[in-house]
Structure 1
Amino acid sequence: MRYLVKSGQGEDEERQLVLCIWPEPYCFDKTPEEKKEYFRFPFSEDGLKQAEDTLNRIYSEKDTLWEEKNGISTLTL
């Protein structure tokens, strides 16, 4: 599983955290858009925690899609 967390803007111009998750092996730019999943969260400590929880939940739900590396199965930001 590969992921990207960045600052973005919502429809109301409010700052948000944007999380994108996609399967390996390709980088963000080389992965087809249809294989990417996007999530938006408030730009806050709570939003960062929500992004972390979402990463861990998606990893667990779709574990057959991700290659396990070094026995790591959860992510802590």
Structure 2
Amino acid sequence: MNNRKSFYDVSSFYNKKAILKCSFKGMRYQVQGVSKEDDEKVLQADVWPEPFCYEKTPLDFHTVKEFEYSEDGLDKVYGWICEQYEARKDEWDFALKNPLDKAKQMGLM
């Protein structure tokens, strides 16, 4: 898995409304700061299978979780994404090795 440093830090990256978009061996993921209705900020992590970007992948194939907007929360984001990779290796591996079949499963072909 990509290392924790590749997630940057809250104050210099996510405070600027930047979105981290990455992939790792068939799993795509993104992390961003999101403002809730009560103006509370959270870190939102999202994982989905290859081969398509966030916008082109149907929402049914996304797994999203929110975390505290802090460095500790970002550590938990990293841990959760690592857990998602480990728990779903077969899914990511299939998506990586069979992108056309995965696209058909998603209803995009």
Q: TM-score, normalised by structure 1?
A: 0.82
Unaligned ranges ≥5, structure 1: 70-77
CA RMSD in angstroms comes to 1.3
Q: Secondary structure at the match of 2:80?
A: helix
| Structure with higher helix content | 2
User: 2:56 matched to which residue of 1?
Assistant: 30
Q: Determine what percentage of the aligned residue pairs are the same residue.
A: 35
User: 2:72 matched to which residue of 1?
Assistant: 46
1:13 aligns with 2:33: no
Dislocated runs of 4+, deviation >4 Å:
none
Shift in Å, 1:66: 1.2
Shift in Å, 1:13: 2.1
Q: Distance in 2 between matches of 1:39 and 1:32?
A: 17
Q: Secondary structure at the match of 1:28?
A: coil
Q: Distance in 2 between matches of 1:42 and 1:10?
A: 12
Q: Distance in 2 between matches of 1:64 and 1:11?
A: 37
Unaligned ranges ≥5, structure 2: 1-26, 97-109
Q: Secondary structure at the match of 2:38?
A: coil
Q: Distance in 2 between matches of 1:10 and 1:42?
A: 12
1:3 aligns with 2:29: yes
